[in-house]
Structure formats: C-alpha cells, structure tokens
Structure 1
Amino acid sequence: MAHFLLRLSPPRPAFPADATVAEMDAMAAHGAFWQGEADRGVALAVGPVADPSGIWGMALVEVQDQDAADALAAQDPVIVAGLGFAYEVMPILSLIQRRVAGPAAVASSPADS
C-alpha cells in the first residue's frame, strides 16, 4: 500500500467566507464522502488547513497506487459538482505513523495502583 497527500484548493481565495449555497451543499457531501473513506480505513486524516495564505483542504490516504489516489480525488463531490475546486495528488515517500500498542505494551500508570 502507498500513502498520498491530496491537497484540495478552493475555487477562490476568500472561500469559505463567501461560499454559495451550491458550494456549501457540495461541501456537506464532501464531508460525508471523506467520512466514509475514513470509516473504510482509506483516509487516515482529512481536514481544512489554516494556511496564512488561504485555507485549503488535505486528505492523507492509504491506497494501492497513484491511480487509486487520483480516482478518490475525482470522486469527491466537490469535484464532481464542477464548482472550481481542484486537487493536487502527491505521493508520500516515507511515513512515520503512531504505533498501536497492544495490551502487553501498555504500562500501568500510578493511578492504576
């Protein structure tokens, strides 16, 4: 499996402050779409980035390959709606992730005593 960063650019710099009803409807569908991908284990993290030069969205995904990452971006309801949003899909060359501790690896705290 491979990891990709999907960067979603809004249709204009003032977005979302000046969002239209159609854009907000598409954003609601966008949120539901990505929640579904997170529930499936494909999206590891998704959310808006408060960049001083303008808000943009990010999704960190784990998929088979570049084609699968591109397909996710193309299926996003904000892209399908044709409202001026655009994705950049970039491979992540190396990723350090949190280790999931099993029951034996969890140390007891003083409060547990």
Structure 2
Amino acid sequence: MSGNNSVKKHFFLKIVATRTTFYQDMTEEERNTMGQHVGYWTDKQNQGIVIIFGPVQNPNDPHGIVIVEVENSEQVPTLIAEDPGVIAGILKTEFYPMNAVLPK
C-alpha cells in the first residue's frame, strides 16, 4: 500500500417499511417522504458513499437495500438517522458489516 492506511469498510443496509401494507396504501405525504428518501441515498451515491441501492421485488418481504462504503463503522448509524424516511418514522433500517468483493 502506498502510505494509505485507510481501508474502506462495507455495510449492507436492509430498509423496511413500518407497516406491511405500506407500498399499497402510502399517503401522499409518505410518497413525498419516499421521494426525499430516494434523493437522500442518490446524493450519498453521488458522494461515493453508496455503491448501489434500490428496492427488492420480493412479494413476501418487500424491502430496500443499500450497500455503503465508509471509513469507519460509526458513520453508518448517522447515515441511517439522517434518512428522511427514518426521520419521518415510516422506515426502519438494520445494517450488517460485509466483506465486499469489488472489481480491481
């Protein structure tokens, strides 16, 4: 390594709505919040923090995923706490460290 001791860490985030019927019956306000949620993660992607994100089309377990690349694990709870969907109380997020295999 060329003097750079900073090894990036990767995390898998699973985002779920706080009610099972959310995607069928969200209100206009919730729909607007979801737009802000997508904008928030798009901004993080543009900053190079998010590798990929999006909804998972599993009819038995609808959820979204985000894969992040950060300097330290303490950044992850902050990223989650600043998500407009989490702030509004309509989304919950759990996260796990992962050993990402990335192209060279």
Q: Place the TM-score, normalised by the shorter chain, in its bin.
A: 0.7 to 0.9
How many residue pairs get aligned? The number is 97
Q: Which moved more, 1:39-48 or 1:11-20?
A: 11-20
2:94 matched residue in structure 1: 88
Query: For the residues of structure 2 that align with 1:19 and 1:70, how far apart are their CA atoms?
Result: 26
**What residue identity is the alignment partner of 2:97?**
P
**What residue identity is the alignment partner of 1:14?**
T
Matched position secondary structure for 1:88: strand
1:104 matched residue in structure 2: none
Question: Among the aligned pairs, what percent are the same residue?
Answer: 29
2:101 is the counterpart of 1:78: no
Contact 1:46 1:59 in 2 (8 A): yes
1:55 matched residue in structure 2: 62
Contact 2:18 2:89 in 1 (8 A): no
Displacement of 1:77 in angstroms is 0.4
1:23 matched residue in structure 2: 30
Q: TM-score, normalised on structure 2?
A: 0.86
Structure 2, unaligned runs of 5 or more: 1-7
Contact 2:52 2:66 in 1 (8 A): yes
Q: Which moved more, 1:8-17 or 1:55-64?
A: 8-17
Query: For the residues of structure 1 that align with 2:54 and 2:15, how far apart are their CA atoms?
Result: 10
Query: For the residues of structure 1 that align with 2:11 and 2:72, how far apart are their CA atoms?
Result: 9
> Bigger relative contact order, structure 1 or 2, given CA contacts below 8 A and separation 6+?
2
Query: Which of 67, 75, 81 matches 2:74?
Result: 67
Query: For the residues of structure 1 that align with 2:27 and 2:83, how far apart are their CA atoms?
Result: 18
Could you say what the CA RMSD is over the residues aligned between the two structures, in angstroms? 1.2
Larger Rg: 1
Displacement of 1:62 in angstroms is 0.2
2:34 is the counterpart of 1:34: no
1 or 2, which has the higher strand percentage? Answer: 2
